[in-house]
């Protein structure tokens, strides 16, 4: 999972994927390791329950029964597990070592790679690459998004499929407001979302408590970018994709009740384009 985080000075700082904040990518992901336990309980399963019906309807019938699939930003591996149960060959890739530790527990039959989505390379060629749960919204720069798309194209066979999920403007305006929380026996969370339409930047201020030799507290702010559909399409085309389609989860697919949640499907050209200087970190 790709995330950026800023921390109030009163608590240890977490910066995820935040090279511009003075940390290397791997240092940033290592900071996110502390959140893996809560993420596994609170978010990993829910995101899979939302994405799998869209995959079923849009993609899985069109790939071979033994297809090679890459789950980009796989988090704690619940989607990897669901795809393995259907006899696909699945690899999960994430930048957080502790996320992958949980993923190996949740999906012991999967292969896993510790890498940054903005710089990964794989030796395997895949029939399908998937990325779910707003992972790509956490790329705050359009050039970074384009770089990831180039990396995905390089990981796909000619005419392979790319399926990914993003929140668009309508979703940020409708859902990034107010606050919500949850309390369980071994963890609690409070989330305060907000959205700045002028900067096209969403923020989730989180306070998490989890039981680990007493109660541990983590405070952080995750940021997301509202990339426009036109920007996403242009970046895909520049990376060597065509047949690009966008599906509204609620209106087109009848999935969930969340406005502005979109699934994109694209196909790789027969020959990948040469990356430009602006698309390589």
pLDDT of residue 14: 26
Going along the chain from its start, the domains and CATH numbers come out as 1-281 (3.40.50.150)
pLDDT of residue 20: 28
Q: What is the pTM of this model?
A: 0.86
Nearest Cα neighbor of 200 from 157, 169, 246 is: 169
Mode of pairing for the β-strands spanning 156-167 and 126-131: parallel
CB 72 within 8 A of CB 152: yes
Q: What is the 3-state secondary structure (H, E, C) of 203-242?
A: EEEEEEEEECCCEEEEEEEEEEECCCHHHHHHHHHHCCEE
pLDDT along the chain (281 residues), means of 10: 37 28 42 75 83 96 97 96 98 94 97 96 96 93 97 98 97 94 90 96 91 86 93 98 96 89 95 56 42
Q: Tell me whether residue 277 is exposed, middle or buried, using C-beta atoms within 10 angstroms of its C-beta: 0 to 12, 13 to 18, 19 or more.
A: exposed
pLDDT of residue 19: 28
Alpha carbon separation from 104 to 7, 109, 113, 173, 277 (Å, rounded): 29, 8, 11, 36, 36
pLDDT of residue 213: 86
pLDDT of residue 120: 96
pLDDT of residue 38: 79
């Amino acid at each position: 999972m790709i995330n950026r985080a800023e921390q109030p000075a009163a608590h240890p700082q977490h910066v995820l994927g935040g090279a511009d904040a003075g940390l290397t990518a791997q240092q940033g992901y290592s900071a996110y390791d502390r959140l893996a336990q809560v993420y596994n309980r609170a978010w990993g399963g829910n995101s899979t329950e939302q994405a799998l019906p869209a995959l079923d309807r849009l993609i899985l019938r069109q790939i071979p029964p033994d297809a090679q699939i890459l789950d980009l930003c796989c988090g704690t591996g619940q989607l990897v597990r669901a795809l393995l149960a259907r006899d696909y060959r699945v690899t999960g890739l994430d930048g957080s070592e502790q996320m992958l530790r949980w993923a190996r527990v949740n999906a012991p039959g999967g292969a896993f790679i510790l890498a940054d989505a903005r710089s990964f390379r794989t030796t395997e060629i895949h029939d399908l690459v998937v990325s779910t749960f707003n992972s790509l919204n956490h790329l705050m720069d359009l050039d970074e998004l384009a770089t990831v798309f180039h990396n995905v194209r390089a990981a796909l066979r000619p005419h392979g499929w790319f399926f990914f999920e993003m929140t668009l403007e309508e979703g940020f305006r409708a859902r990034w407001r107010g606050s919500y929380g949850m309390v369980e026996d071994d963890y609690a969370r409070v989330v305060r979302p907000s959205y700045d339409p002028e900067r096209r930047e969403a923020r989730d201020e989180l306070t998490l408590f989890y039981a680990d030799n007493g109660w541990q507290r983590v405070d952080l702010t995750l940021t997301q970018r509202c990339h426009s559909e036109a920007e996403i399409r242009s970046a895909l085309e520049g990376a060597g994709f065509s047949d690009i389609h966008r599906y509204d989860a609620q209106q087109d697919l009848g999935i969930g009740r969340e406005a502005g949640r979109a699934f994109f499907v694209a196909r790789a050209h027969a020959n990948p384009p040469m990356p430009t200087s602006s698309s390589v970190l």
